[in-house]
Structure 1
Amino acid sequence: MSDEDLHAHHDDTRWAFGTGFTDPLHGMDQAVPDGVDAKALAACCLALADDALVSAQRLAEWCTRAPELEEELALANIGLDLLGQARLLYARTGRADGSGRGEDAYAYFRDAADFRNVRLAELPGGDFAFTIVRLLILSSWRLALFEALTSAPDPVLAAIAAKSVKELAYHRRYAAEWTLRLGDGTPESRQRVEAALDSIAPWLPELLADRTAAQLGAAPAAIAHRTRSELTEVLQAAGLNRNGADLHDQAPLTALAGSGRDGVHTGHLAPLLGELQCVARAHPSATW
């Protein structure tokens, strides 16, 4: 199965807007293959979908607020890519966990404690530098993870990963280019990037120690190494005199015990979900 299969039964002009489908995986063989742990597969897909959905919602907050119209459109398009990834992964979750639930059930009708996203994704947007640094880190980590998952034993997840890799490569490139501009720009832009790095550093261990996809071919140590290497290359090119290992070795995550993967979140997630889910919950029987 290839990533082209994901498009075979859809009208691509509608796909860009994420509408017009009853099931984003319609027409694909969604049976969990023999030898694949369905529970581990469902947990992996749910967590990665939650990462994408929450990240997309944070990026949507930049609509009308970005420094330039071009950047507003770029961030919105990245958010749409992530929303598309979330749709596919939620659809796979519903089949793998045996519930048969659709994507709306996962996105709109779970409370914050039921979400399994990493907490870096849910932090408030901050300034443009914070958004760019967070996007650089999350896209570098997610790209390394999804590249490994293109060889996952579940062919549906492998196809989703192959499709997503192309999008994530652009996300990382966009964030890297802006990190270079800001880091090698004015004293003000450089200071803001440094401040963003300092505020994000304590949340990195949760990403780099993540074992969500370990049973599906994505070795945590390899993903962490790849992520740190990518960050080192960009930060040093930007003249920031840091590297990925330095960020990882800074103060451990002490804001909360546990992990977002365990349903332990900051106080920022519930208000974010409240805004995302309010219309669907007010009209639960509506067809969108």
Structure 2
Amino acid sequence: MSDDHVYLTLAEGHEDDARWAYGTGFEDPLHGVDTTVPDGVDAGELAASCVVLADDALVSAQRLAEWTTRAPELEEEVALANIGLDLLGQARLLYARAGQVDGSGRGEDAYAYFRDADDFRNVRLAELPGGDFAFSVVRLLVLSSWRLAHFERLMASPDPVLAAIAAKGVKELTYHRQYAAEWVVRLGDGTEESHRRTRTALEQVAPYLGELFTAYDVRDEVVAVLRQVTEAGGLPMPVYRPLPGAGRSGDHTEHLAPLLAELQSVARAHPEATW
């Protein structure tokens, strides 16, 4: 089965379903796909990898959703919402794959809505409050560059399902990175105020870069992107100042629990609801 065929099957909709599942109306995002774990692939490691990547995407999408009705222009509101929807789609597929291979049989809703903050494994940069627009696009630039570099590697995964998810994600993340890069350059090379805010955003993001570079060996690629963008915007490269702790081990900031409380509130209040 080719990666293209796998992805087309993954994306196939089933309108009769009415579970939460982010309101997409899919019965099963892996419906019709051979989900057998290939020989030589550790099912536990595969599931864990899918969950951490899905957690990054879900939490990032929730932060982007906070810009709805608050973005500086309608066009940017739509763009940020669409980027968030891309990430939700990635999260859904990754959670579904994790549930297929970890032996639990859990669906996407169980991972997204019925785990506490201590159980999430997203990187801490994703959970920080949105701040101003400059901070949001700087964070998006960093996270999309980092995720894109990792997904490009995952396209060669021995698991065809994960490889197909990554291949589709690469196309989306390429746009996410381009969108963020254009805004960072525009703000950095704009007014004195926009430059100041973007410079401050880079300083705020800097302490969290170490966690990204520790998690995956993509440091050189991400640094190259940041250097190119900051130079174009007349901005300084963020100075690497690592903080102790890591979201991958469940050590989160105080900001994740409130974010999840809002995200999960309706599903937890009506756990058997359909719509």
Q: Give the alignment's TM-score, normalised by structure 2.
A: 0.94
Amino acid at match of 2:12: H
1:152 aligned counterpart, secondary structure: coil
Q: For residue 194 of structure 1, what is the aligned residue in structure 2?
A: 199
For the 8 Å contact 2:210–2:241, the answer to whether it is kept is: no
Q: 1:284 — aligned with what?
A: 271
1:178 aligns with 2:165: no
**CA offset at residue 13 of structure 1?**
10
Preserved CA contact (<8 Å) 1:259 1:265: yes
Any stretches of 5+ residues in structure 1 without a counterpart?
Answer: 212-219
Cα deviation digits, residues 105-150 of structure 1 (max 9, x gap): 0000000000000000000000000000000000000000000100
Structure 2: state its 5+ residue gaps: 17-21
Alignment partner of 1:100 out of 93, 97, 105:
105
Q: 1:2 — aligned with what? A: 3
- Contact 2:29–2:96 (CA under 8 A) maintained in structure 1: yes
- Give the aligned partner of residue 234 of structure 1: 229
Aligned-pair CA distance for 1:4: 4.1
Query: Which residue identity is paired with 2:256?
Result: L
Q: CA deviation at 1:69?
A: 0.3
Q: Would you say how many aligned residue pairs link Structure 1 and Structure 2?
A: 268
Q: Can you list the C-alpha shifts for 1:63-113, whole angstroms capped at 9, x where unaligned?
A: 000000000000000000000000000000001211110000000000000
Distance 1:283 1:235 in 2: 46
Larger deviation: 70-79 or 5-14? 5-14
1:41 aligns with 2:46: yes
1:252: Cα distance to partner? 1.8
Provide the residue aligned with 1:30 in structure 2: 35
| Stretch of structure 1 that moved more, 231-240 or 271-280 | 231-240
Deviation at 1:22, TM superposition (A): 1.7
Q: Whole-Å Cα distance in 2 between the matches of residues 4 and 56 of structure 1?
A: 27
Which residue is equivalent to 1:73? 78
Deviations 1:237-288 (A, max 9, x none): 111132xxxx3x532214xxx3100111001000000000000000111124
Counterparts of 2:96 and 2:274 in 1: how far apart (Å)? Answer: 17
State whether residues 3 and 160 of structure 1, in contact with CA within 8 Å, keep that contact through their aligned partners in structure 2: no
Q: In structure 2, what is the Cα distance between the partners aligned to 1:195 and 1:35?
A: 46
The verdict on how the C-alpha distance between 1:18 and 1:165 changes in structure 2, with shifts beyond 3 A counting, is farther
| Shift of residue 12, structure 1, vs aligned partner | 9.8
Which consecutive aligned stretches of 4+ in structure 1 deviate over 3 angstroms post-superposition?
11-14
